[in-house]
Amino acid sequence: MAEQRWLPVIAAVFVTSLVVSNIIAVKLISVGPFLLTAAILIFPVSYIFGDILTEVYGYAQARRVIWIGFGCNLMAVFIFWLSIELPAAPFWRTGAFESAAASQQAYQAIFGSTPRILAASFLAYLVGEFLNSFVLAKMKITTRGRHLWMRTIGSTIVGQLADSGVFIFLAFYGTVPLNALAQMAGAQWLMKSAYEALATPLTYLAVSFLKRAEREDFYDRETNFNPLRWKE
């Protein structure tokens, strides 16, 4: 059996990109005509490394890392909530804020999220990541391991469509007109998919290196694709 020496590194980058993206998602940025969150800088990295995990190590290993990422993100959210609930020191000042209350409000605005947003984010993550991994694994068998670019881009298009659609709909339905929801979801989907396409050369390099270093190139011909399963 392969040693899989690089698997912890790939998993660490995957989880880090996921947690960091949720922290910086509070900032909105403009990219041409698109209004996006700052998470666009790093969240697609989780899909790129999700592709690498499935391509090299197989769906079962990717499934474990997806659940580990979910657990780490859940823990981070809990710690953020707990830090907000702790009473602020009366002399706490930050930057332009002249009172502890103002500093506390700014801190809460950055690290706090409504239950609805959190629920939408968690569900969208699970649906999108598992679809991404499933589609790539199935396409690898269908293409007999050829055309890696087709698998990475194709799986991302499906996974990111589900992720963007689930999150935008669950998070904002009833507060934003349906046509605006569709535009928001479409913009995120297009930008994230384009990100993946542009990163294809780097994905090729990473996959090629890992397959040589790990002596691993897994095909999910007999894999149980139940996303709730932990063991292979």
Q: Output the tens digit of pLDDT for each of the chain's 232 residues.
A: 557 899 999 999 999 998 888 888 777 777 777 777 778 888 888 889 999 999 999 999 999 999 999 999 999 888 988 988 888 777 766 655 567 777 777 777 777 776 788 888 899 999 999 999 999 999 999 999 999 999 999 999 999 999 989 988 888 888 778 888 888 888 889 888 898 889 999 999 999 999 999 999 999 999 999 999 887 6
Q: How far from each other are the two terminal CA atoms of the chain, in whole angstroms?
A: 14
Q: Does domain 7-214 have CATH number 1.10.1760?
A: yes
Determine the pLDDT at residue 126.
Answer: 95
Chain centre distance of CA 200: 17
Which pLDDT score, from 0 to 100, does residue 95 have? 59
Q: Residue 5 in 3-state DSSP? A: coil
Going from N- to C-terminal start, the domains of the chain cover 7-214
Q: Which residue carries 């391509």 as its tokens?
A: 55
Q: What is the pTM of this model?
A: 0.89
